[in-house]
Amino acid sequence: MKNSGKAVVFQGSGKPLMLREFPLPTLKEGEILVQISQCAICISDLHTISGKRESPLPLIPGHEIVGTIKELPSKSKLTDLKGQILQPGDMISWTLNTSCGKCFNCKKEIPQKCKHLIKYGHSPISEEYSLNGGMAEYILLRKGTSIIKLDNHIPAHLYTCINCSLSTVMAAIHAAGKIEGSTALIFGAGMLGTLCSAVLKSQKAEKIIAIDPNLKRLEIIQQFGTSHAIQWRDNLKTEALIRHILTITENHGADLVFEMSGAEMAISTALQTMGIGGKLILCGSVFPSRDISFNPETIVRNLWEIKGIHNYNTRDFLAAEKFLSNNISNFPFSDLFHPGFYSLEETEEAIKTARTKKFHRVVITP
Amino acid sequence: MKNSGKAVVFQGSGKPLMLREFPLPTLKEGEILVQISQCAICISDLHTISGKRESPLPLIPGHEIVGTIKELPSKSKLTDLKGQILQPGDMISWTLNTSCGKCFNCKKEIPQKCKHLIKYGHSPISEEYSLNGGMAEYILLRKGTSIIKLDNHIPAHLYTCINCSLSTVMAAIHAAGKIEGSTALIFGAGMLGTLCSAVLKSQKAEKIIAIDPNLKRLEIIQQFGTSHAIQWRDNLKTEALIRHILTITENHGADLVFEMSGAEMAISTALQTMGIGGKLILCGSVFPSRDISFNPETIVRNLWEIKGIHNYNTRDFLAAEKFLSNNISNFPFSDLFHPGFYSLEETEEAIKTARTKKFHRVVITP
């Protein structure tokens, strides 16, 4: 058996990525060694590499990963979230964060804010733990990682979204409550917005309106259930956009707004196009932005709800796997991926391709 | 049978209240004539009379009412929300708004925003409908009013809160979700805040912190389950208040914040003392106030929820009646009321007493 594995090391913005060989670790209780088959490049990986997002360095980027179990600790039997016993060779997905299950936030079912959190793809290489990221041949899953065995009949790369964007979408959908018959507005037709549109469609939203500057993305999102695609252009007056949305909603305003772009204009537009009892689910604001002002009386009299979503819990992760497995033939998921896969050696090129935003995801196959 | 009834008529701010005699109406299908036994003066009545709140005039103020059925239409059998048949002599409470049950908002279970809404105590006297308010001997309940038969063993005036403040509190509690084990923060120890404290206590909140400038109210709210009462003083620095709250919450911040004061400082303080996953329920901002600014990234990363509550639906109204009936011996509800009742002729004096804010409610017994 090979006793080392290659991994891409990020040492800081502007510095070249390095390919390094790391020894394979000796497993401790609860740990699993996984051979990575696919790692998709998430926008947050691009933010880390560009320096927009600060991370402790050096690190191995990548967290949207699918892999097969290489080695399990010999003594203990480990199971996935569905109670299935895990074995070498199983294709699995796992939560992008570990959690202790015992701290204040874990007990509140917010494991993503665990006091002892480790984030795959965002944690530094240390003497004890080096294989923490997805752009590598192997990853060491720590104790406290929730796992789901995957269906071998579905192409592995399609599953890369379930432990990040799709689970976050599921958390947003959970926060939204009743979807059936609703009019939903999505800001941003990236991976989050597109998957959100698909889930809304599958849960029988009546109208799904998507707003994005990118025409190609608007074309794709219409394959994922969106009924009304609106191109955001710099010269589009906010008043005209608001009028357009209100017309589509027959002047009732939107029941649900999913803010998945992080754009400031999105939130202020949302606050002018929500109907009575409307819910605004904020997912996109994961980087510093200007404050937004709101009028408390307007929120009260309109019975509005504003809810922030950041990452997800195991309920959402399970829902994501279930949604993808059940809907694999209902939406053209493979269109979200760049058709050619990149090797670890081609990571710089893969990142360049990802930055063009021509495809929602670019995949590395170590 | 007497065929007319006295009522207090409000003609505009600064003008004296008039006592006028109105003929009793002939009932149409679905209408009920009620003899009013008690009408409590709500803060919104004070706002109407002071001119802070604009209403179409002239009107009969008062909506926190309890009464007994005087007359029902002869042909149809009417039932209350629990399906009990209504009969003359029944002591009842009813929703402060009527609703059609068919419009867009009614179908969304937001009957308080019905497109054909009539608000008792806030609707003008017209040729067709004059007896619309509680400061009167009789009130005509329109079709679309939800009714609950009351328990004769409970003093009637204690029930005046269920169709306004207590139902609003129940809507806020519903929005808050899980209460058990939570740390809750209440801004404002008025009627809403005090009843909210009682409901939180009954649902096993672990810590209940109340903030108000009025020492007597803080004393009372501690009889209603509040574990930590904090006096808001003009010279109290926001930083000191925040530190105090964080200490009580063991630096986790509050799980639930109920804003029931309408004070601007309350919302900004709330946004600095909520814990991860915290919910801010806005109820008090029912009059124009300055905008409040918020940072989208902070809401997202903290998984916060901000929810506006205005009035209530029948679910909340039923919950309010149930809570009061089940907890009548658990909290000193009668301490919330001025011990002496006022006659219709003494309405001006009753309003003066209500304005002193020495008691949460002052009751008129027509």
DSSP string, B75-100: SSPPB-TTSPBP-TT-EEEE-SEE--
Q: Is residue A164 part of a domain?
A: no
pLDDT of residue B208: 98
pLDDT in tens, B130-170: 999 999 999 999 998 999 999 989 999 999 999 999 999 99
Distance in Å, alpha carbon of B174 to nearest chain A alpha carbon: 13
* Phi–psi pair at A361, nearest 5 degrees: -140, 145
Q: How far apart are CA B322 and CA B320, in angstroms?
A: 5
Distance in Å, alpha carbon of A346 to nearest chain B alpha carbon: 33
Nearest CB among A104, A294, A310 relative to B300 is that of A310
Q: Which residue of B has its CA nearest to A172?
A: B303
B104 & B178 share domain = no
Contact B61, B86 (CB under 8 A): no
Q: Is residue B84 part of a domain?
A: yes
pLDDT in tens, B219-255: 999 999 999 999 998 887 889 999 999 999 999 999 9
Which residues lie closer than 8 Å to B9 by C-beta, 6 or more apart? Answer: B17, B18, B19, B20, B58, B59, B60, B125
Total-model pTM: 0.94
A141 & A259 share domain = no
- CATH of residue B17's domain is 3.90.180.10
A292 & A262 share domain = yes
pLDDT of residue B171: 98
Q: Which residue of A has its CA nearest to B114?
A: A276
Q: Assign B336 to helix, strand or coil.
A: helix
3-state secondary structure A234-258: CCCCHHHHHHHHHHHCCCCCEEEEE
Q: Which residues of A touch B285 (CB under 8 A)?
A: 296-297, 299-300
pLDDT of residue A30: 92
- Beta partners for residue B259, in sequence order: B187, B282
Q: Is B1 a residue whose pLDDT tops 80?
A: no
B220 & B287 share domain = yes
Which residues lie closer than 8 Å to B287 by C-beta, 6 or more apart? Answer: A297, B47, B52, B53, B262
Give how many domains chain A has, as a whole number.
2
A143 & A186 share domain = no
Q: Which residues of A touch B265 (CB under 8 A)?
A: none
Centroid of chain to Cα B104? 24
Nearest CB among A113, A277, A307 relative to B110 is that of A277
Confidence of residue B288 (pLDDT cuts 50, 70, 90): confident
Chain B interface with A: residues with Cβ < 8 Å? 104-105, 108, 110, 113, 175, 252, 255, 259, 262, 264, 267, 276-277, 282-289, 291-310
Q: Is residue B323 part of a domain?
A: no
A14 & A118 share domain = yes
ipTM score for this prediction: 0.93
Q: Is residue A304 part of a domain?
A: yes
Nearest CB among A113, A297, A305 relative to B286 is that of A297
B65 & B109 share domain = yes
A132 & A201 share domain = no
Q: Is B265 a residue whose pLDDT tops 90?
A: no
Alpha carbon separation from A32 to A278, A312, A364 (Å, rounded): 44, 22, 21
Confidence of residue B73 (pLDDT cuts 50, 70, 90): confident
Domain that holds residue B125: 4-153+328-364
Q: Is residue A323 part of a domain?
A: no
Which residues lie closer than 8 Å to B129 by C-beta, 6 or more apart? Answer: B25, B123, B140, B142
Distance in Å, alpha carbon of B7 to nearest chain A alpha carbon: 30
- CATH of residue A242's domain is 3.40.50.720
Q: Is the peptide bond before A58 cis (omega within 30 degrees of 0)?
A: yes
Cβ of B308 within 8 Å of Cβ of A285? The answer is no
Burial label, A153 (beta-carbon count in 10 A; 0-12, 13-18, 19+): exposed
Interface probe, candidates B306, B311, B315, B316, chain A, greatest A C-beta count within 10 A: B306
Q: Which residues of B touch A308 (CB under 8 A)?
A: 296, 298-305
Q: Which residues of B touch A168 (CB under 8 A)?
A: none
Q: How far apart are CA B5 and CA B37, in angstroms?
A: 13
B245 & B293 share domain = yes
Cβ of A291 within 8 Å of Cβ of B293? The answer is yes
Q: Is residue B341 part of a domain?
A: yes
Tokens 């929820």 — which residue?
B305
Q: Is residue A159 part of a domain?
A: no
Q: Which residues of B touch A105 (CB under 8 A)?
A: 276-277
Mode of pairing for the β-strands spanning B32-40 and B138-141: antiparallel
Cβ of B289 within 8 Å of Cβ of A277? The answer is no
Q: How far apart are CA A78 and CA A332, in angstroms?
A: 34
Alpha carbon separation from B230 to A79, B109, B195, B196, B258 (Å, rounded): 49, 36, 17, 16, 15
pLDDT of residue A1: 60
Q: How far apart are CA B257 and CA B249, in angstroms?
A: 12
| H/E segment holding residue B221 | helix B215-221
Cβ of A282 within 8 Å of Cβ of B294? The answer is no
Tokens 């594995």 — which residue?
A5
Cβ of A299 within 8 Å of Cβ of B283? The answer is no
B19 & B143 share domain = yes
Q: Is residue B162 part of a domain?
A: no
A8 & A131 share domain = yes
DSSP state of A80: -
Q: Is B76 a residue whose pLDDT tops 80?
A: no
Tens of pLDDT along chain A (366 residues) come to 679 999 999 999 999 999 999 999 999 999 999 999 999 999 999 999 999 888 899 999 999 999 999 999 887 789 999 999 999 999 999 999 999 999 999 998 999 999 999 999 999 999 999 999 999 999 999 998 999 999 989 999 999 999 999 999 999 999 999 999 999 999 999 999 999 999 999 999 999 999 999 999 999 999 999 999 999 988 878 899 999 999 999 999 999 999 999 888 899 899 999 999 999 999 998 888 889 888 999 999 999 999 999 999 999 999 999 999 999 999 999 999 999 999 999 999 999 999 998 999 999 999
Cβ of A108 within 8 Å of Cβ of B255? The answer is yes
What is the pLDDT averaged over residues B300-311? 96
B146 & B264 share domain = no
pLDDT of residue A77: 87
Cβ of A310 within 8 Å of Cβ of B291? The answer is no
Q: How far apart are CA A193 and CA A173, in angstroms?
A: 12
Average of per-residue pLDDT values in chain B = 95
